Amino acid sequence: MTRLVIQHPTLSDTAVAAVVRAVGKPPHCRSACLAIWDTVSLTGAQVDSLAASLQVDAEIVSPTLRLADFGLAAFDMDSTLITIECIDEIADYIGRKAEVAAITEAAMRGEITDYDESLRRRVALLEGLPQETLQRVWDERVQLSPGADELIGAMKRAGLRVLVVSGGFTFFTERIRQRLGLDLARSNVLEVIDGKLTGRLLGPIINAQGKRRVVEQTCAMLGITPAQAIVVGDGANDLAMMSIAGMSVAYHAKPIVHSQTHHAVNHSGLDAILNYFSDQSAGVSRLA
């Protein structure tokens, strides 16, 4: 048996009617942002085609899938848990956002093969910037992605440990950890001397393989396997940790990530992920 989950922040009657024609029956439940069909026979390719043509989030899941069956959720930070790329916004304070953002975008799309070098190049451009700029970015520009609070809260209630693992910087991941009540945070350390960024990083870089190692080590610490982990991200440097996860979700992600993950959320908030699971009431409570 399979379950079809269709989602959009404003799910239109037109879109639902198109899915009804494809499935051959009405949804068993429907709300303003969600429709669910049980026992459908569509293939994954057909569902992907529907999602693309109707501009909705559409996923085939098992009706017995339970969030409580997982032990860890690991999230990327930039453009996943939060809406911005922190390094791009830091660079904006010295008038170099476009230059840094171009490198960031190419790295996230997988067009730069040496991620470490791309990060060093971007960080070097920040040399001399006052450390207080990081606090300004946090205060003025960092916003949680829609649904982040709801998703993390439900995961914690279901007994999962929650990790943020980022190619970004500890200044921000530690604040996100505290803001969302996460269990663990791992990221890169900016060197600061005399209150100014030096343009260098301290310690080993958290790159794609570094992210994977963090997930593996955290699973080992918890006494679970990576098959009991959910990983959510948006960029090419998330693919290594996604590849070992029992469930991987591409969130508003780059094309290269879509092609290599189990699920994708392109239009909805992070809390849309909850509607994949039979033991979650977030979506059911909105149905009427």
pLDDT band at 284 (very low <50, low <70, confident <90, very high): very low
Closest CA to 163 of 153, 175, 177: 177
Beta-ladder partners of 61: 3
Query: Six-digit token pair at 9?
Result: 């922040």
Pairwise CA distance, residues 245 & 113, whole Å: 23
Mean pLDDT for 67-75 is: 97
Q: Where are the domains of the chain?
A: 1-64, 72-216
In the annotation, is 88 catalytic?
no
Pairwise CA distance, residues 214 & 235, whole Å: 17
Q: Quick: pLDDT tens for 35-56.
A: 999 989 898 899 999 999 999 9
Q: Quick: pLDDT tens for 194-205.
A: 999 999 999 999
Task: For domain 1-64, give the CATH number.
Answer: 3.30.70
Mean pLDDT for 14-25 is: 96
Judged by DSSP in three states, 263 sits in: strand
* End-to-end Cα spacing for the chain: 24
Q: Quick: pLDDT tens for 203-232.
A: 999 999 999 999 999 999 999 999 999 999
In the annotation, is 114 catalytic?
no
Query: Six-digit token pair at 35?
Result: 């429709």
Looking at domain 72-216, its CATH superfamily turns out to be HAD superfamily/HAD-like (3.40.50.1000)
pLDDT at 282 over 90: no
pTM of the shown model: 0.94
Given 57, 69, 76, 238, which residue is catalytic? Answer: 76
Given 78, 88, 234, 238, which residue is catalytic? Answer: 78
Q: Quick: pLDDT tens for 95-143.
A: 999 999 999 999 999 998 899 999 999 999 999 999 999 999 999 999 9
DSSP 133: H
